[in-house]
Structure 1
């Protein structure tokens, strides 16, 4: 009886791993330019963008004009404005007069764009990328696809303090799991709760607890104050193509220093969120004689333990000395780190690394490796130290996508204009 050979996986000019905002932007801008479009392989079973952080009051810290396409192609059909028109919500949206749009709205916009593109393969986790004369994307059951070029938009994982054991501790949850925890445990809002992390996610976790009636919250952060996001015009100069070009050409040590100095233009807390927390404290004191949120900056958690349903955190104080805090529930909002690249051992050996052991990212977001430029590997959201704080941010998604597409197509398919600059950086 004749045997049937298994079908060969489809071959693509370029394939993307991950279907978050970065790769969706690239697919949207390249829809009519890339041969066959851009297939995206996404491990999630369906559209999802930080689903645990989409509370009713959470807002983007970026203007809706900075969507997937508009900064380089405002007539593109996958703009946020066209999404509002096509879904029939444009007038309601305008009448709501948002200063910053709800994150749940942005998540729906991403899902709409993915559906319109029709090139996202959900539920397809890529466990390993191999290379012979082409890239081979390998899933749980074997090869899924092959490609001449790759774009890796793998997103981030939660950063957990090193003092916590790898398996975690009972009573300690990530901020993205807070709503699910509170929904599944009616007693979770009783007693003391600790939130660790002084950024926007930590602040929103604090507000979520306050709105659920928690009246004993301790908010810990490492900085000596809970710093507001710097959204001033000079700060926003860092989030434009002209500055990215300047930044990329700086010496390594200068770029590292600049990223540290500019961090509050990206990682601070929205002023509106801070105001709401302080107002909740003021009103709580009027109502109950005590504020619901104890604000504790300058604390670095260095040790943790759990016993009999109580979590204990030991903190080093910025001013010297240490202190201990206990609670039945601890919420971690301690940042995020890039997901590891799923390169096979053989492929990883061909990649050029910097002094910290990370792939070197060139000006066009490709990484240096043995078989470039014939076969390119582009990385998204991994250029914080090479391209500045705008890279892991949503601000310049279409600009980065346009740069990648210009390289892939070997021609200036997009012109990035940023000519009216008043600042001379040094």
Structure 2
């Protein structure tokens, strides 16, 4: 008879959020956990691992600190163990280099006994009689199939590169997503021209990275649909919108109101770092001294409608949003900085009957990040439509994980802040004078 090792929770996918959950669960003896990922090891956006790129959140937004500052899996402890703590101290910069954050996550994943890579989840089924999930997993190293059993699951498969609708079913070799950039950079440099499409941080980082190359033979154009290359809003009172009480406020809105509000909030999470915008301008200014002509175009208000091959190049069809006129552009290479979207994994078909959905077919995510009546299926970074723009924010990862852990445990394992903002986002607060002696 098969011996069943039953885990309290199994996580599928080991990105930063589930890795943080694994780290926070590791010292919790009452909860047994296992995290599975089909990749060989942790590697966060390797195609955009530019040398000088930083996270857009302070170093305290690591895997654990905002839930457990004393955790041995903190970024500061990583620096201490790798003999870089004083270097980081002297650097006097809250913002971690992206490549160092990646090394930190690799360090943590290698230390955590509950993280297992090279394991592809093929299917998940639920046994109602036993109240257990059966997860069928393919070991990519030896092609063995193994079954794991768990009381609860956490979906952390993350987001996938998103391409425009007109790219569906098209095979255009030199039209790539930003996630492929560094893997294809040498090919881009060998091309005569490149166009970047998008208005976010990734587009700006690639534009800045390629700018020096335009002094030689590379011609570069940057197109964006908004009317400007706008900065991410990062003022301190605006940052209070990443607070637990704002999440509560957003969650309790009607669905239609949430969607309307999200449509107005791109500058809060989709813009460009303010300093990077200034660096780009300064670089352009320096390159143009003496009125030297630049092999560069910046074209706001330009909506890309279609791409078609023409010889060894591509024709890009645009609509100028403000002029309401169409125009074309020819480029040898195209980089689509069109972001990422959540894509439901195929293995969910086996438990589809358990999943609650909105009228639009999206996950009906509870305030505690579950998507089923029994509150046994948790999601990470799949609740933008219910919890707001903080969903992909690394800084709120430990907060969400604390809620998930407390929910799994049925008691408080990690203290969770309820109010941290100076602002009041709802009318539901009691503003009557308090008796300080009561």
Check whether TM > 0.5: yes
Matches within 5 A, 1:370-385: 372-373=374-375, 376-385=376-385
1:182 aligns with 2:177: no
CA offsets 1:215-257 (integer angstroms, 9 cap, x no match): 5211111111111010001210111212112221122122222
Partner of 2:366: 362
Partner of 1:386: 386
Once the two structures are TM-superposed, the CA of residue 396 in structure 1 deviates from its matched residue by 0.6
User: What is the distance in 2 between the residues matched to 1:193 and 1:55?
Assistant: 18
Matches within 5 A, 1:16-415: 16-33=11-28, 35=30, 37-133=32-128, 134-140=132-138, 141-183=144-186, 185=187, 188-213=189-214, 215-286=218-289, 289-319=292-322, 320-369=324-373, 372-373=374-375, 376-415=376-415
Once the two structures are TM-superposed, the CA of residue 333 in structure 1 deviates from its matched residue by 0.9
What residue ranges of structure 1 are gaps of 5+ in the alignment?
A: none
Contact 2:153 2:377 in 1 (8 A): yes
Contact 2:159 2:341 in 1 (8 A): yes
User: What is the distance in 1 between the residues matched to 2:17 and 2:348?
Assistant: 23
Higher strand share: 2
Deviating more after overlay: 152-161 vs 132-141: 132-141
Deviating more after overlay: 84-93 vs 284-293: 284-293
Contact 2:201 2:271 in 1 (8 A): yes
Once the two structures are TM-superposed, the CA of residue 143 in structure 1 deviates from its matched residue by 3.9
Q: 1:412 to 1:418 in 2, by over 3 A?
A: same
SS at match of 2:151: strand
CA offsets 1:139-186 (integer angstroms, 9 cap, x no match): 345444121100010111111011114243121122122222123x3x
User: What is the distance in 1 between the residues matched to 2:205 and 2:3?
Assistant: 48
Q: 1:249 to 1:86 in 2, by over 3 A?
A: same
Contact 1:221 1:297 in 2 (8 A): yes
Once the two structures are TM-superposed, the CA of residue 338 in structure 1 deviates from its matched residue by 0.8
SS at match of 2:307: strand
SS at match of 1:88: coil
CA offsets 1:319-346 (integer angstroms, 9 cap, x no match): 1011111111111110101131334434
User: What is the distance in 2 between the residues matched to 1:385 and 1:239?
Assistant: 15
Contact 1:230 1:264 in 2 (8 A): yes
Deviating more after overlay: 35-44 vs 152-161: 35-44
SS at match of 1:163: helix
CA offsets 1:42-99 (integer angstroms, 9 cap, x no match): 1111121111111112111111111111112111111111111111101111222335
SS at match of 2:305: strand
Once the two structures are TM-superposed, the CA of residue 32 in structure 1 deviates from its matched residue by 1.9
User: What is the distance in 2 between the residues matched to 1:34 and 1:308?
Assistant: 63
Once the two structures are TM-superposed, the CA of residue 102 in structure 1 deviates from its matched residue by 0.8
Q: CA RMSD in A?
A: 1.9
Contact 2:26 2:114 in 1 (8 A): no
User: What is the distance in 1 between the residues matched to 2:277 and 2:404?
Assistant: 37
Q: 1:26 to 1:102 in 2, by over 3 A?
A: same
What residue ranges of structure 2 are gaps of 5+ in the alignment?
A: 139-143, 427-438
Contact 1:72 1:399 in 2 (8 A): yes
User: What is the distance in 2 between the residues matched to 1:90 and 1:220?
Assistant: 41
CA offsets 1:365-388 (integer angstroms, 9 cap, x no match): 01124xx14xx0000001111111
User: What is the distance in 2 between the residues matched to 1:211 and 1:103?
Assistant: 21
User: What is the distance in 2 between the residues matched to 1:233 and 1:250?
Assistant: 24
User: What is the distance in 1 between the residues matched to 2:80 and 2:350?
Assistant: 48
Contact 2:191 2:333 in 1 (8 A): no
Count of residues in correspondence between the two structures: 415
Contact 1:189 1:213 in 2 (8 A): no
Partner of 2:433: none
TM-score of the superposed pair, with normalisation by structure 1: 0.92
User: What is the distance in 2 between the residues matched to 1:342 and 1:173?
Assistant: 24
User: What is the distance in 2 between the residues matched to 1:409 and 1:321?
Assistant: 59
Deviating more after overlay: 151-160 vs 209-218: 209-218
